[in-house]
Structure 1
Amino acid sequence: MARRPGNTLEKWEVAIVKAMLSRKYVPQDIQAYFSRPTRSINNARISEIKDGTKHKAIKPASDDELDTFLDSWPNIDPATGLHLQGDELLVKAREAMIAAVHTFNSAGLYFRAELFIVTAIIAWTYLMHAYYKREGIDYRHKKGGVVERTPSGAEKYWELSQCITTGACPLQSGIVKQSQVPDRDQERDRASIHQQDRRCPQREAAGLLHQLQRRHQGPLRT
């Protein structure tokens, strides 16, 4: 069986592993630093770095970078078991959805439905990016095989609309159809939102979360 893309080391982690090897850390001990509740790393991943089978082009982390890593280890959110750096996309998705729900439930806000929708879209974008990253699917915008960049030089990533319409989307087609981001023609009717059941955005978000949980290893709690 092929190894899950999510059970691999990221480039920054490979650099840390090389620095630890330079300090004569035992490979089995190094493995313990990188396995966590949401990801299991096989000892073979450390061995292939040590013997130079893979990741030759990646330079070892500096002494300061290694010390920072060791000082902050395990750097795990105790409520979810998510690594604050390695699972950054999931952490952001969870916190954005919590913020969306808190905003929606806040008293005295006249436009809470719209605020919920905007923040929920951010949350779901992060969550879909986390899924595609785990599955080894490149979710960056490309033109002619070259990754597109913003004016500031940052890489461009898929918007939520593209995340849920690509063939690799894990959500059921019915959920996707009900959750499409409104186009400009629909936005002109946004005044009708105030006449809708205020709980609708929460129900749709909950439905999306339920569908993705079925494809994800373990629950994604908000």
Structure 2
Amino acid sequence: MDIDDVTRALELDIVFGRIRPRERLVEDELMERIGAKRHQVRAALAQLEQLGIVERRMNRGAIVRDFSVEEVEDLYEMRDHLHLLAVAKMDLPFSRTRVDRLRAIQARHDAAILGARLENVLDSNNAFHDELFDGCGNRYLAEAIRRHAWLSHAIRSYRIADREMLEQARKEHGEMIEVGAIGDRAALAELCTRHIQPSKLAYLDSRVGSDPAFRAS
């Protein structure tokens, strides 16, 4: 096991809600659960801190980052803008090669959902969006989209295993391929912005339900 493996294990724990926002990340506990050495855990936490997923607080150590209502709204507003800019820069209609690549990735995503293999669901979902937004032709823009998706990990955790949400995401992926293939830029832009909203709303609803003071944060 290397540092990347430890980082990946922690990422999955956060995405799948095994570690929730505001929960402490205690090195000894992580070492035992993951089977890693202390320097590997520390390096992995440092990587996740750089990505904005983990933060360090005085007298508490490392915790999974928590988002206020304003921060959630700001983050998803930025994601909307990035997605719309990427769609505006894409060459449409999609080439046959791009359509084939997207359909192949989506077939893996479909199979992962049907088999309830959540780690594969996550990986194939990320691969789909990487392939889609790499089509904007601007690698810095595509990287910014990936980074802001990373920042959303803890937010996405509240519904990532929800069957209804997964089915909706699968349906929308298919629609993105179809409207891109016929060159309907407006429809693709609308789908890309609508696609990320359910996880945001689920996070806000869950947090308000469990912590009434959260709405005022």
Pick the TM interval, shorter chain: 0.3 to 0.5
Larger-Rg structure:
1
* TM value normalised by structure 2: 0.33
* TM value normalised by structure 1: 0.32
* Structure with more of its chain in helix, by fraction: 2
Looking at both structures, which has the greater relative contact order when contacts are Cα pairs under 8 Å and sequence separation is at least 6? 2
